[in-house]
Chains A and B, each alone.
Chain A
Amino acid sequence: MNNKMVVVALIIGCLFIFIGSVLLVPDTLTNTEQNNFLRQLNSTNNQDFDKATQIKPFSFPLDHGPHNTYQTEWWYLTGNLQNKNGQQFGYQLTFFRVALSPERTTRSSAWASNQIYMGHLALSDIKNNKHYASERFSRAALGLSGATASPFRVWLEDWVISGNKKSPFPMTLNAKTTEFSIQLKLDNIKPLVLQGNQGLSQKSTAKGNASYYYTYSRIKSQGTVTTADETHSVSGLSWMDREWSTSALAADQIGWDWFALHLSNGYDLMYYQLRKKNGEIDPASSGVLIAPDGKTKKLSHADIHLSIKHHWLSKKTAIRYPIGWQLEIPKEKIRLTIMAKQANQEMNVSIRYWEGAVQVNGKYNGQLVDGAGYLELAGYQK
């Protein structure tokens, strides 16, 4: 009788295993693959694109427009704004141009294009500790997105920055999502600064691992920002970076920390440090100090002491970002504490990074200074 029970148990067991396995079949088909579109901007297959290998004379206004033969390009606007009650906002509007192939093939459909635009728009509402972020893509076809140098205009659907025939400034900025919107009038206070070596910004020692890079560091900004609750009249300072390249990062680099700071004494400071996989900082890291009159001083890796003071762990992505820093430039007698105005300014879009408004406090040449700026932390995902 015992044997019989064993047989019964076995048979019923088999039956359940069979049914169970049948039931489980559809689940294994479930695709858990996440968003991996454009995880990295620069594809490795880039031989045929133009590269930033040598110093080239810039030609404006032409160079305000797109450089389609380079793989990647951006128009990068960030800024700190506040309303008349002192309520603070940080914003970012970036247009990325990505060339999918070096050459445009002739095709009969107007939709065909080798250029696509990606837009990132973010607003940090510091008082309410809220961060809005939005991302868009479009192909540069049928007028859906694109850029022109003269008149200056970069657009992705209804996100637009535009200037005049000769210059990006005075610039109007208009960007809207269902949640928030930003409308600004922008005018540069300081002239354009060529970064690196006359605009050629080396990102590693390898030739061609470089970009063409220029900056409008101090831009007077005025307009409105609208959040879910209300519209605020705001004013403040913005920063605009223009960069185009084909292969900016070397194989052993994993990311960068980029600082763009407006100090209360009229100085602007830009510094980026390139991190290597082994934890070291690439000596190609560099920056610039821009005086109130627009005069620049190059900063090299050796000039800067940078240390992390504070980390923040994103609950959404489990990525740990260093959002508090100490920055020292002994030869300029600068010592600054840089702290995120709010921790959550993570851009959890197709490329994950942290881009946010920071508060600056410290000493410059023995004098107390403060200020605000933007910090970009890229490549922290494991």
Chain B
Amino acid sequence: MLNQLAWKASWRHLLLHPWQLALLILGIALGVAVVVAVDLATSSATLAFNDAAKTFSSTTTHQIIDPENKLDERVYLELKQQYPQLAVAPLVQGYLSSPEYPGRRFHIIGIDPFSDTPFRAEGAALEREILTQLLTEPLTALATKKLRTEITTLPLTTGNTTQQLKIIGLMNEQPGTSALLESVLMVDIATAQELFNMEGYLSQIDLVLPQQDTAITQQIQQNIPKTYQLNSIQSKTNALTQMTKAFRINLMAMSLLAIVVGMFIISNAISFSVLQRRKIFGSLRSTGAEPKLILQIILTEALVIGCIGTFFGFILGAFLAEGLLTLVTRTINDLYFQLGTSSLTIDSWSIFKGVSLGVGATLIAALIPATEAVKSSSDTIIRRSSIENRSLKLIPKLALTGIGIIVMGVALILLPLDSLILSFTALFFILMGYALISPWAMLKLSSGLQSAMTRTLGITGLMACRSIKRNISRTGIATAALLIAIATTVGVSTMIGSFRIAVQNWIESSLSADLYISVIDNNSSSNVIDPQFIEQLQQRLPGITMNQSKWQQVYTETRPINLLALGLSRRGFEGFRFKHGDINKAWAAFNNNNSILVSEPFAYHHQLAVGDFFILPTPQAATAETKLRVAGIFYNYASEQGIAIINLNLYQQLWKNTSLSGLSLYLDDKNTYDANIETIQNLFIHYPKLQLRKSSEIRAMTLAVFDRTFAVTDVLRLLTLIVAIVGILAALMALQLERIKEIATLKAIGFTPRQIQFLLITETGLSGLLAGLLSLPLGIIMAVILIHEINQISFGWSMPLSLDPLQFIYAILIALTAAMIAGIYPAKLLSKTPTAEALRHE
């Protein structure tokens, strides 16, 4: 009998407070949604990462490439003849854009379906009719299901013309790789050669070499022309993993942050719902209900609500993830390599995390107040003051624990280990510790503000200040969540802001020339500037100052190196800002052809200091290396992997290659500036592969890429913030709604409805303001850790901290507004409730 009554009481309570129930579920759903969204987006992106190397060359162990992208196809035929038993496949590939899909680049992969079978499943899976078309009809292609349903012919821009690529069939999409293949078109090698004007040439040759047989590898190495490179895929995949590790860890950290905020919100929502009913539970206990029963009821309720919340959380999370994924993919494309647009892949681990957070955190959050409700005598449960009293006693202890945790976090940072995971752990320790101190700080701040509030707002101000102290057990967690979310916003924004300023300064100083000429697409065909063009340019603009450059990708065991060979004037050299090393000495060493300049991330990744030797692998790969002394370490934010620079003369000696991939021009005479540009542009008509960029364009582009890179971080941060705001909204609203009797008493002693409204909004506003204020120091601490620890470790970039006061004002405003909005509805509602009824109600 009592049993049933007790279950009904809990059920009815929830049904009678639909608003609270809805807010409770919303809180849980939001917490789960953020975690699931971030997790899904990052894991999908990670999957795409991992597949990137595998998809196009699943079994490939080695590749033969020509740095000039002009690999003679006869090399393939010779290989085939010399090693008939080896799996060898030719590949012609490149990137083209389509007027129909502006901004998207299509990766055209030309294969020979027959020799390709050991590498990709394409050839073997083709229907005869499709194979026939692919091989015999020019400009036919295979695409993903998705692309094929969108279009039947894809116009592609090649040079000055547009060619129509007919999509005749489907590619072989392995599960989970469709995301990757979305912008990929598979064509016959003949079509690819014709598209890219590469008749007679290949982009690369894929090989499967027996792992244990190094002799054959060496043999092949010796038999191919010296300018070609035989690279092991192992090292390439390693390099890829290395490259993307930092980015993935950053995303992971964001998802962890989301979990922390999500947990705060869930535990706040559920513990409030339990605390609120201590009276009901007290009454049940006094009528003889077993503590076990009460516990059972609370936990069952938490489980049900947790499940519902998790369910909605998943749905919401999936939607959010779609959007996030686009951003993540874009960042990957900007920073690393072409991924196509990713599609969402749902893995069980994300689901596990979401469910354990939604259901698990809800249960744990319910367990604490539930055991408390069960343990204490029925008499004290009824009195809420007893809880508040206990909470007040607990707060200093919490603060002390918090300080302890912060000390641990700081100690972790001071450890001389460059570990990202450790740094993030330290960051979270500091966050958690700070959160534990925050209730104490709130109390101190509110009593500090007491006199000022009284002076300005009268009795209402005083009451608002004191109510913070009284309600700390309920608002504490929610305010801490808001505080952490806002601190994160401040911290991350400050980091991004400082970063942006550093990049801006760097680009201003390094882009000293007026015009930059490069090859449009260094993926397809050759990235070499036609020597004729340079000749003609010099003829038409005699005496123009021109710096020449040549990009060269060099493969080492661990990561690919971006090597830039520069033919520089002293003036161009002035553009470098050196972190270590003297510019005059570096200039002398640079011209002595025995030294190398490295960018800051490069020095970081290869652990180089000025004066160290760097061993540069040169074209005769296995046999030849060149030892170069590091003459200077310069600031450069262009490449996360870093750049190494050598003198163009040295490059030409080592590589026996005089081709150029870039030119920078100084147009000093402002009078002839426009005329000169016109001259150059006229010359460009004959060279469709070349592109001309003004330094101002490059500047704008760099910053655009920068902004896009941090768009993900920005969105994640915003998302976390929104969750925190909704969380505090839910918590405060529920809290206020509970105060019917208190408000009625105030009304009975003469408070007008307006005054009541004012009081309630002031109260919530005050806690928001305090959370905002308290978040600022934490935000700055976070920014410092992000800039000097985490960024340094993951990217190798250093930058000065620049604080933006506007950010701080925003942060406080956000907290204040969120909290005040949370007060509006309860204030309206409570001020309208008839006094007598409200008093009787309790």
Contact = CB atoms under 8 A, between A and B. Distances in A.
Interface of A: 1, 4, 7-8, 11-12, 14-15, 18-19, 22-23, 25-27, 29-31, 33, 35-40, 43, 45, 100-101, 105, 107-114, 116, 136-139, 142-144, 157-158, 176-178, 350
Given A11-B304, A114-B135, A109 B190 contact: yes
B388 interface: no
B147 interface: no
Contacts of B314: 18-19, 22
Given A30-B175, A116-B135, 6 more contacts: A11-B307, A15-B310, A23-B348, A33-B125, A37-B124, A176-B85
Given A107-B190, A107-B194, A138-B114, A7 B304 contact: yes
B351 A144 contact: no
A34 B192 CA distance: 27
Interface in B102-133: 112-115, 117, 123-129, 131-132
Interface stretch (B73-81, B253-261, B737-745): B73-81
Given A31-B172, A114-B136, A116-B135, A22 B80 contact: no
B135 A36 contact: no
B572 interface: no
A158 B80 CA distance: 9
Given A43-B129, A100-B135, A177-B85, A111 B304 contact: no
A152 to B, nearest CB: 20
Nearest to A36: B127
Interface string B620-659: 0000000000000000000000000000000000000000
B325 to A, nearest CB: 15
Interface of B: 3-4, 7, 11, 73, 77, 80-81, 84-85, 112-115, 117, 123-129, 131-132, 135-136, 138, 172-176, 178, 188-191, 193-194, 199-200, 300, 303-304, 307-308, 310-311, 314, 345-346, 348, 351, 355
A26 B349 CA distance: 14
B189 A100 contact: no
A157 B80 contact: yes
B126 A110 contact: no
Given A29-B175, A33-B125, A114-B135, A109 B199 contact: yes
A108 B199 contact: yes
5 contacts: A8-B303, A15-B355, A19-B355, A31-B125, A111-B190
A139 B178 contact: no
A144 B4 CA distance: 84
**Most chain A C-beta atoms within 10 Å of own C-beta, residue among B85, B128, B307:** B128
Contacts of B3: 1
Contacts of A15: 307, 310-311, 355
Contacts of A27: 175
A29 B146 CA distance: 13
A-B interface, 5 closest residue pairs, ranked by CB to CB distance from nearest: A158-B84, A109-B190, A112-B190, A111-B190, A137-B114
A139 B308 contact: no
A8 B351 CA distance: 20
B199 A110 contact: yes
B136 to A, nearest CB: 4
Contacts of A38: 128, 131
Contacts of B125: 31, 33, 35-37
Contact of B124 (A35, A112, A177): A35
Chain B interface main SS type: helix
Nearest to A102: B136
Nearest to A3: B11
B175 A26 contact: yes
A285 B814 CA distance: 90
Contacts of B7: 1, 4
Contacts of A29: 173, 175-176, 178
Nearest to B300: A8
Contacts of A158: 81, 84
Given A29-B175, A108-B199, A110-B73, A101 B85 contact: no
Contact of A11 (B188, B190, B308): B308
A242 B5 CA distance: 93
Nearest to A105: B136
A175 to B, nearest CB: 10
A174 to B, nearest CB: 10
A11 B113 CA distance: 51
A24 B172 CA distance: 20
A23 B346 contact: yes
B141 to A, nearest CB: 15
Contacts of B304: 7-8, 11
Contact of B84 (A12, A33, A112, A157): A157
B347 to A, nearest CB: 8
Given A1-B4, A23-B346, A23-B351, A111 B136 contact: no
Contacts of B199: 108-110
Nearest to B355: A19
A184 to B, nearest CB: 18
A43 B189 CA distance: 23
Nearest to A1: B7
Contacts of B348: 23
Contacts of B138: 105, 107, 112
A105 B138 CA distance: 9
Nearest to A135: B117
B128 A37 contact: yes
A7 B112 CA distance: 59
Contact of A139 (B73, B114, B176): B114
Contacts of B84: 157-158, 176
A380 B307 CA distance: 56
A105 B133 CA distance: 12
Contacts of A18: 311, 314
Nearest to B136: A101
Contact of B189 (A19, A35, A111): A111
Nearest to B191: A109
B127 A26 contact: no
Contacts of B176: 26, 29
Contact of B351 (A22, A116, A157, A176): A22
A200 B179 CA distance: 54
B443 to A, nearest CB: 40
Nearest to A136: B114
A11 B308 CA distance: 7
Contacts of A37: 123-128, 131
Contacts of A100: 131-132, 135-136
Contacts of A108: 193-194, 199
A120 to B, nearest CB: 14
A112 B115 CA distance: 15
Given A19-B351, A37-B131, A111-B193, A116 B114 contact: yes
A63 to B, nearest CB: 25
A119 B263 CA distance: 64
Contacts of A43: 128-129, 132
B112 A111 contact: yes
**Most chain B C-beta atoms within 10 Å of own C-beta, residue among A26, A111, A178:** A111
A4 B305 CA distance: 13
Contacts of B127: 36-37
**Most chain B C-beta atoms within 10 Å of own C-beta, residue among A23, A113, A142, A177:** A142
A178 B118 CA distance: 14
Contacts of B128: 37-40, 43
A39 B124 CA distance: 11
B112 A139 contact: yes
B175 A110 contact: no
A111 B188 contact: yes
A105 B304 CA distance: 70
A134 to B, nearest CB: 11
A112 B139 CA distance: 12
Nearest to A158: B84
Nearest to A177: B85
Contacts of B300: 4, 8
A5 to B, nearest CB: 9
Contacts of A138: 114-115
Contacts of A114: 135-136
